Homo-oligomer: A and B are copies of this chain.
Amino acid sequence: MRIVLDAMGGDKAPENPVKGAVMAVKEYGYEVTLVGREKEIRKELEGEKYPEDKLSVVNVPEVIDMEEPAAVSVRKKRNSSIVKGLEMVKDKTHDAFVSAGNTGAVVCAATLSLRLLPGIDRPGIAVVFPTLAKPILVIDVGANIDPKPLHMLQYGVMGDAYSRHLFGKEDPSVGLLNIGEESSKGTDFEKESHALLKNSKLNFIGNVEPKEVYKGSADVVLSNGFVGNVFLKVTEAFAYAGAELLKTELKRSGLLAQLGALMMLPSLKKIKKRVDSSEHGGAPLLGVDGRVIIAHGSSNPKAVKNAIRVAGEFYDHQVNKHILEELQTF
């Protein structure tokens, strides 16, 4: 397994990608190629111990920043870690590309460079979301913010394949994120998507509201990319605000409450581990003809390592082959 890692992607790059790569080569034994500014990468590698034949560096001078407009930057920065890294998957010298960088740029460059699977009109970012019952798949969370109902059906097929082969679900249940359960709820987009999904071969269980998503009522949740992105970001924001509120309140409280918090700490840490996105790693960009894993911009080294693990699973389970097979039957 040969994986290209965008060493310049993420809020703390190249430090976190490099450290994550070192962890991954040691833990999984994959070959990882770090793409980016070699001097900066080598500096981060100083003092790290790892099997040197497993980790290589390819020098490219340009970096697409986190907030640059996607299409423009991909066209202009041909020598960036994102564009060059994806070319190394296109030319088959590597098996997968992993980046915690500018999501829009990765989606755009991957679509241009690798092209889409036949039968797929738009790629979708599929995120593994922890719920009360089990981890589920939410697709799309931001690649396609103004989708057509047909894209939802295609996401349904891809999510179904992913859930079958990576989560071992026999007949994954598929739900449509909406503001009400009835088929009449939502805009025309949701109503038309609902009708398409209902008449498909998928195990479509209908609309799911956010609470049902959190309960784990569906194995695969389909969403407009804009709404899916808001869904994820509200979840992150709530986690942040909840922790802040607790800290502030505990500071104001007496010693008893503070001691209580200390005694609860192991339980709180277990919960954090269970819901922590860095444990679940990166999100596959489904629909491109290749393997692309997108990690959160705030990924720490462990999250980068786990994103590399997801790339390996994507390869081992031949996800794209299974997606193509399922598309045949539709």
Contact = CB atoms under 8 A, between A and B. Distances in A.
A226 B187 contact: yes
Contacts of A179: 142, 145, 226, 229-230, 233
A59 interface: no
B240 A238 contact: no
State how many copies of this chain the complex holds: 2
A128 to B, nearest CB: 16
Interface stretch (A90-98, A112-120, A258-266, A309-317): A258-266
A209 interface: yes
- A interface: dominant SS: helix
B242 A242 contact: yes
Interface stretch (A37-45, A47-55, A148-156, A243-251): A243-251
A238 to B, nearest CB: 4
B230 A177 contact: yes
Closest 9 A/B residue pairs (Cβ): A260-B263, A260-B264, A210-B237, A210-B233, A214-B241, A211-B237, A260-B260, A234-B234, A214-B237
22 contacts: A67-B181, A69-B182, A146-B188, A179-B230, A186-B226, A209-B237, A210-B234, A210-B236, A210-B237, A214-B238, A214-B241, A227-B227, A234-B235, A238-B238, A245-B275, A246-B267, A249-B271, A253-B266, A257-B263, A260-B260, A260-B261, A263-B263
